[in-house]
Amino acid sequence: MRLDIVTIFPEYLEPLNVSLVGKARARGRLDVRVHDLRQWTHDRHNTVDDTPYGGGPGMVMKPEPWGEALDAVIASGDPGGDGDGPVIVVPTPSGSPFTQETAVELAAEPWLVFTPARYEGIDRRVVEEYGERFRVRELSIGDYVLAGGEAPVLVMVEAVARLLPGVLGNAESHRDDSFAPGAMADLLEGPVYTKPPVWRGRDIPEVLLSGHHGRIARWRRDQAFRRTARYRPDLLERCDPAALDAEDRKLLAELGWAERPDGRFGPTAQDVEE
């Protein structure tokens, strides 16, 4: 997979040389190219921003450097060999949510171009212009505001890269990920343990030492339900009741959850006054 990142802070992307993504690059699984947006400016001060039309605080990134940058990057290759061009990922707090599903979709692409912005964002005409010829995804990594899109690019690249074949050591490693589509979808992962068996007087849940795979799987599922009910009740409320077995239902009842008239599960309103 090829990734191009156009930024005014190339050094912000240095972490892409480290750890999982760094190794994937070294092994040739990932071709990452970071470009300095200012190389596509032509004035003495390498200006990339200007004041917003209509007034208001902050500055807006000018369209011309982005246009030249994207034209140059897009003209420089066709790693998919299909002439489709890249998917252009525009990180913005006003984008649609970047989720595990988004990561899976992007991981299937041969070529992604990221356009992390600073200031109040990029002149709208850039997304309009490239949206007519390419697939553009405006994506947000969560409901908070960052000073720029570089940290979101690090987040998105890591989430995508670990899904590529041959990048994680163990191909099974993402099967049980929280948010991975499939059996444990919509459940958070429960706790994990390793040696030593006793640490500061704390031992390991017995079942994990039992060697009984069925009981271990059941215990892990129960832990996932407990954790999800506590930290992400919204996920549990969305889950398909058909995916719940008798044990799940019993555990949810213990946790104070019950089936609602609409068939979904939710916490019983014990502390709500009638």
Measured at the CA of 135, the angle between CA 134 and CA 138, to 5 degrees, comes to: 125
152 is a contact residue toward ligand 6GU (CB under 6 A): yes
Known catalytic membership, residue 25: no
140 is a contact residue toward ligand 6GU (CB under 6 A): yes
Of 64, 177, 189, 237, which residue is the catalytic one?
177
Query: What are the DSSP E strand ranges found in 125-186?
Result: 135-140
Phi, psi for 42 (deg, rounded to 5): -130, 0
- Choices 13-21, 42-50, 63-71, 135-143 (CB under 6 A): range interacting with ligand 6GU: 135-143
Known catalytic membership, residue 162: yes
Known catalytic membership, residue 82: no
Min dist CB 102 to ligand 6GU, Å, is 12
- Secondary structure class of 98 (helix, strand, coil): coil
- Position 179, amino acid: F
145 is a contact residue toward ligand 6GU (CB under 6 A): yes
Q: Dihedral of the CA atoms 11, 16, 18, 19 (nearest 10)?
A: 160
141 is a contact residue toward ligand 6GU (CB under 6 A): yes
* Binding mask of the shown chain, residues 68 to 97, with x at each position contacting ligand 6GU by CB under 6 A: -----------------------xxx----
Of 25, 38, 162, 249, which residue is the catalytic one?
162
142, 181, 197, 205: which one binds ligand 6GU (CB under 6 A): 142
59, 146, 185, 244: which one binds ligand 6GU (CB under 6 A): 146
Nearer to ligand 6GU, 142 or 181 (CB): 142
Name the residue whose CB lies closest to ligand 6GU.
91
Contact between residue 260 and residue 237 where contact means Cβ atoms under 8 Å apart: no
**8-state DSSP, 29:** S
Contact between residue 134 and residue 87 where contact means Cβ atoms under 8 Å apart: yes
- Secondary structure class of 69 (helix, strand, coil): helix
Strand arrangement, sheet containing 87-97: 31-36, 2-7, 111-114, 87-97, 135-140
Known catalytic membership, residue 63: no
**Would you tell me which residues interact with ligand 6GU (CB under 6 A)?**
91-93, 140-142, 144-146, 148-149, 152
* Catalytic residue set: 93, 120, 162, 177
